């Protein structure tokens, strides 16, 4: 019901499974890369939200991206990625989105969903990261090494399109 209402609205929002996003930097850089490929007309997908999902999952295959980041029944941890041209329209869009979602749902903004942690360890195998690669990555700690390696995988996707 909520997804139907969102798809019919004009709000440019992409809803993702938060467990598939390592950090805020992960989704921000995926969005930036997708927008850049869109502007250069080098996109893989026909729709920008799907392009973002492909970058965030570092794959050219829509089925794989949906498996990692797509919404599943019963999912309660969701990341909303809203794409707007200027900051002025952000507050208005957020208000519209909250009204649209207000169906007796309990909506709580929780920035901790975008923080790395043990619940997201499955991403290490998803992105095929090895312990050797993580140890060889220049980083303050393991979480930063994982983040950098995931971002590198997204960059490889960009290169592989050429």
CATH (domain of 80): 3.30.2380.10
Pick from 53-57, 117-121, 124-128: least confident: 117-121
Nearest alpha carbon to residue 58 among 29, 17, 15: 29
Predicted model pTM: 0.84
As a whole number of angstroms, the distance between CA 13 and CA 42 comes to 22
pLDDT category at 114 given cuts 50, 70, 90 is confident
Mean pLDDT value across the chain? 85
Containing domain of residue 113, as a range? Answer: 2-160
pLDDT reading at 9 higher than 90: no
Number of structural domains in the chain: 1
As a whole number of angstroms, the distance between CA 142 and CA 158 comes to 25
Q: Tell me the C-alpha to C-alpha distance, in Å, between residue 127 and each of 38, 102, 132, 149, 153.
A: 23, 35, 14, 8, 7
pLDDT reading at 1 higher than 60: no
Query: Do residues 49 and 14 touch, judged by C-beta distance below 8 A?
Result: yes
Q: What is the pLDDT of residues 22-54, one digit of tens each?
A: 999 999 999 999 999 999 999 999 999 999 999
């Amino acid at each position: 019901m909520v997804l139907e209402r969102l798809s019919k609205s004009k709000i440019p929002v992409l809803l993702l499974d938060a467990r598939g996003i390592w950090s805020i930097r992960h989704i921000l850089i995926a969005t930036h890369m997708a927008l850049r490929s869109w502007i250069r007309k080098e996109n893989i997908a026909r729709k920008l939200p799907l392009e973002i999902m492909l970058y965030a999952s570092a794959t050219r295959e829509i089925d794989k991206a949906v498996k990692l980041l797509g919404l599943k029944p019963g999912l309660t941890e969701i990341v909303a990625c809203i794409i707007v041209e200027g900051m002025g329209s952000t507050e208005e869009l957020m208000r519209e989105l909250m009204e649209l979602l207000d169906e007796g749902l309990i909506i709580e903004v929780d920035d901790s969903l975008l923080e790395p942690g043990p619940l997201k360890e499955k991403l290490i195998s998803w992105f095929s990261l090895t312990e050797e690669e993580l140890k060889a990555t220049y980083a303050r700690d393991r979480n930063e090494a994982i983040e950098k390696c995931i971002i590198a995988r997204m960059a490889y996707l960009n290169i592989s399109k050429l």
